[in-house]
Structure 1
Amino acid sequence: MEWTSWLGFLDGHDYTIAREVILRGVAAVFVLAFLSTLNQFPALLGERGLLPAPDYLARTAGRGGPTLFRWRLTPYSDRLLRVMCLVGMLLGVSVMLGLPQQGPAWSTIPVFLLMWVLYLSIHSVGRTFYGYGWESMLLECGAVVGFLGSQEVAPPLLVLWFLRWMLLRLEFGAGMIKIRGDSAWRDLTAMDHHHQTQPMPGPLSRFAHRRPRWWHRLEVLGSHAVQLGAIWLILLPQPVASIGASLVILSQLFLVLTGNYAWLNWLTILVAFSAVSDSFLRWLVGGPFPGWGWGGLGSSGPTDSPLWWHLLILAVCIVLAVLSWKPLLNLFSSHQLMNASFNRFHLVNAYGAFGSMTTRRYEVVIEGTQDPAPETADEEAWRPYEFRGKPGDVRRRSRQFAPYHLRLDWQMWFLALRPGAEDWFMALLGKLLDGDPDIRRLLRTDPFDGAPPTGLRVRYFEYRYASAQERRDSGAWWVRTDLGVIART
């Protein structure tokens, strides 16, 4: 009892609301991630996918990331992948319903660790289609947030502080990448084109793009203010830490409204709750202003966590602290890495985005024809394959898909920046020529209703948003310039 009382300062009694938000929110993101995998992985990386996982596993025997698919008893199959996704989704839903939180202190740990193992197994064979910072961020969260514990114990402050360290790496790392990278972030012009050229615009992106220049300057200044300045407030006592976290949350909500970045923004918001105290949240809805402090003892909740729980949390955080050394050095390195992992388990990663800004939007458009002689077919015979998220038809308004991740659409954006003979893209053209049903399900429209075309061509365009007058005259959302045909099959 003496030890538990002495270690009571490690209990974060004033973060019970934040714990539930983080646990249920991260679980919901896992459900989305497994759902995205269930719907898209077989066509992209399955047994007959664009980059088949079995072939990759055979080429990299004994190498590559950790995955259950390397076990002899569990070789890759699309059926096994679907089972893993369904199990992961059921686990996530159980946390969203609050079931593990009703058990003993440790009951949340195996649930999240199993989701982490399952998703790490998938990520390790996902290659280019899983090469995004928010994938590593989800894995890092999955390995850590289970140690927030059930409602039987107070939220551990050490775990909450690690999540703040994660938020600092994410926000400050992104800010430093920008300052060290493109000069547009230093001369405040970075947002002049970003809403138009970002990977997957949303329904409000055109509105945001058409704001005056002074507005875009404020956007850049606001980004710097939060990522380089306000983020440090989360290290201060309450209520200052909650105020700093709230500024991060507001900035992320703006990004949610103006773009499609899968679950990156929502996961950042969830991690930011590690610095938001219950007292602050009660004040927001009309309670007394929170007192100054670190948010530990003195609030409602379990009185004492058991000694074994404190020792377990301490051991976990020591391991995470050791793994934090390289990411810490990276933050202040002149050769800072962006979206990098320093270990095979994607724990304590480096994050960042948009260190280099694009000022023009290019799109690769795939068209097919059923003309018996495609090499001499008229223009009217060529019809485009439309993707769900990326721009194509100039009259189609951009839609909101995030936090759902459209993996093929994102890769098409990267392809347009550097058109070339990517293996996955050449395989995509082959699947379209065959009328592959799995690939067709990833598209918005198939102009031939499943029938294979006699030929394909790949066209290259520059896109820009239609002006107000152009939209009134033609109803177009985009205006595009034809840059020619870059490939035929």
Structure 2
Amino acid sequence: MNSQMRVANPPPKPLMIWDGECHFCRRWIERWREITAGEVEYAPYQEIADRFPEIPREQFQRSVVYIDKSGQVFVAAEAVYRSLRCRPSKKWLWWSYQHIPGFAAVSELGYNFIARHRGFASAITQLLWGKDVRPPTYFWAHRWFLRALALVYLIAFVSLWIQIDGLVGSNGILPISDYLSLAHREIGYKTVWILPTLCWFNSSNGFLHFLCGSGVLFSLLLICRIAPAISLGVLFVSYLSLSVAGQAFLSFQWDILLLETGFVAIFFAPWQLWPRSATAAIRPVSPVAMFLLKFLLFKLMFMSGVVKLTSGDNCWGWINHSFHWSALTALDYHYWTQPLPTVFAWFADKHPEWFKKFSVAFCLVVEIIVPFFIWAPRRPRLIAAGLIIFLQLAIAITGNYCFFNLLTIALCLLLIDDASLRRASPTYAPVAASRGNHRSHRHSAVKSLALLHRTEARG
């Protein structure tokens, strides 16, 4: 349909008209309704088509129809992009449709294909999203990720506190005061930026204990959701100071991961002093911080797999740019050589050879392929979370990697959205709170229909 077409009685608010008998349409209209947040009204053509005789009924059956306040009519993919442009995060779709060569043609081609195969599209939607395709919310993940991170911090500070004197104290293995003095003498004033630590001001044993004690205190405050952003800031600075002071003792992968996660979490945490009551309004989760934390999990898993294949060690089965099942022998040695094997590592080492090879292949799949599902719709994303958590538990059972596995599992919590929990527990409150404006959308739709009736009557 020509986008220059207009209707004689335009709606008071932009209106999206859809096929009320289409199950696939109903699902996606609910998603768009939340994205547009009341800026656009929605109505099935079965109830409203008679108000716009200029638009053929067949057009309503073929595609969605969008009518703006001036009465201009848009259909199909153009209608979708036009309606979504009211949200700043979606304006790029409409801009691309107008300015990028080929984008409009591909969009319309894709829309027409889906419109002709709605049953298939509905099945795919069910497979990937489930019954709820609305934009996901992460209130549960937000709360429990921060608590899990606080627990990791608590473990890190407590375990270090009881060893700090012997490791980097004045009479320790690598005294921090000697280390900083030597670094300053060799490098000069730039050392402060190269080795960022509060120990430049005080490197005594008492101050090292103060840093550890501060970490324990603010970890407990974070668990109780007291001043979460401030607590995370103090925790990051304290652990960064201790990790520099710890030298070789705190330069492991899990120490770096904790610093990266802790820094991003500062911007993920709510800026409040006291825990909010259950009836208080729930603030949206920062999408930028959420993306960065998910990307951190993606980077951790993907690079863990890539580094294995690029190490040049044939035990990972990668020989001459191809996989060889017979060469998957990494676990033949892993259980003997890993940090502090547990009693379960002995039993794991007794598994049949085929099971060890399968376990190596499974590890590579989870680390290299599964991370891409972090960015997928709900069901593949939940599968990715489950597989990564399973792998981390298996590693933790057979070896001692400090808090590394627990921290990775904490990051996996961010892949679990509220709709998943609502399906498991219908009484889950944050989802209901986050969807609380859904009723107001329906009310505004009814109000819009009434206005249309009055407009037509005046005409």
Pairwise TM-score range, normalised by the shorter structure: 0.5 to 0.7
Q: 1:121 to 1:265 in 2, by over 3 A?
A: same
Give the number of aligned pairs: 284
Equivalent residue letter for 2:249: F
Q: How far apart are the structure 2 equivalents of 1:286 and 1:87?
A: 38
Q: How far apart are the structure 1 equivalents of 2:379 and 2:217?
A: 37
1:149 aligns with 2:282: no
**Residues 378-393 of structure 1 aligned to structure 2 (within 5 Å):** none
1:170 aligns with 2:315: no
> Which residue of 2 is the match for residue 58 of structure 1?
181
> Which residue of 2 is the match for residue 185 of structure 1?
316
1:248 aligns with 2:388: yes
> Which residue of 2 is the match for residue 422 of structure 1?
none
Q: How far apart are the structure 2 equivalents of 1:185 and 1:178?
A: 7
1:77 aligns with 2:200: no
> Which residue of 1 is the match for residue 349 of structure 2?
209
CA shift at 1:203, angstroms? 2.2
Equivalent residue letter for 1:162: L
Could you report, residue by residue, the CA deviation over 1:243-264 in whole angstroms, capped at 9, with x for unpaired residues?
2122111111111111111011
1:140 aligns with 2:260: yes
User: TM-score, normalization: structure 1?
Assistant: 0.54
**SS of match in other structure, 2:138:** helix
> Which residue of 2 is the match for residue 98 of structure 1?
225
Q: How far apart are the structure 2 equivalents of 1:41 and 1:20?
A: 31
Q: How far apart are the structure 2 equivalents of 1:23 and 1:298?
A: 18
Q: How far apart are the structure 2 equivalents of 1:268 and 1:12?
A: 25
Q: How far apart are the structure 1 equivalents of 2:137 and 2:165?
A: 44
Equivalent residue letter for 2:387: L
User: TM-score, normalization: structure 2?
Assistant: 0.58
**SS of match in other structure, 2:343:** coil
Equivalent residue letter for 1:263: F
**Residues 279-428 of structure 1 aligned to structure 2 (within 5 Å):** 279-283=419-423, 285=424, 300-301=433-434
CA RMSD across the alignment = 2.8
**SS of match in other structure, 2:225:** coil
**SS of match in other structure, 2:367:** helix
Q: How far apart are the structure 1 equivalents of 2:419 and 2:137?
A: 7
Q: How far apart are the structure 2 equivalents of 1:210 and 1:141?
A: 36
1:38 aligns with 2:178: no
Q: How far apart are the structure 1 equivalents of 2:269 and 2:262?
A: 13
Q: How far apart are the structure 2 equivalents of 1:157 and 1:242?
A: 19
**SS of match in other structure, 1:204:** helix
Choose from 345, 358, 362 the match for 1:222. Answer: 362
> Which residue of 1 is the match for residue 324 of structure 2?
none
1:12–1:157 CA contact under 8 A, matched in 2: no
Q: How far apart are the structure 1 equivalents of 2:399 and 2:416?
A: 25
CA shift at 1:127, angstroms? 1.1
Question: Over alpha carbons, which structure has the higher Rg?
Answer: 2
Query: Any gaps of 5 or more consecutive residues in structure 1?
Result: 101-107, 289-296, 305-489
Q: How far apart are the structure 2 equivalents of 1:7 and 1:142?
A: 29
CA shift at 1:7, angstroms? 5.9
> Which residue of 2 is the match for residue 116 of structure 1?
236
Which gives a bigger RCO, structure 1 or 2 (Cα 8 Å, sep 6+)? Answer: 1
Q: 1:270 to 1:262 in 2, by over 3 A?
A: same
Choose from 382, 401, 413 the match for 1:261. Answer: 401
Q: How far apart are the structure 2 equivalents of 1:245 and 1:189?
A: 26
Q: How far apart are the structure 1 equivalents of 2:256 and 2:137?
A: 29
Q: How far apart are the structure 2 equivalents of 1:199 and 1:245?
A: 25
Q: How far apart are the structure 2 equivalents of 1:83 and 1:266?
A: 25
Equivalent residue letter for 1:163: L
> Which residue of 2 is the match for residue 21 of structure 1?
144
Q: How far apart are the structure 1 equivalents of 2:422 and 2:435?
A: 19
**SS of match in other structure, 1:300:** helix
Identity over aligned residues, as a percent?
29
CA shift at 1:195, angstroms? 1.1
Q: 1:185 to 1:299 in 2, by over 3 A?
A: farther
Q: How far apart are the structure 1 equivalents of 2:377 and 2:148?
A: 25
CA shift at 1:153, angstroms? 1.4
Q: How far apart are the structure 2 equivalents of 1:8 and 1:109?
A: 26
Q: How far apart are the structure 2 equivalents of 1:243 and 1:158?
A: 23
Equivalent residue letter for 1:179: L
Equivalent residue letter for 1:148: F
**SS of match in other structure, 1:60:** helix
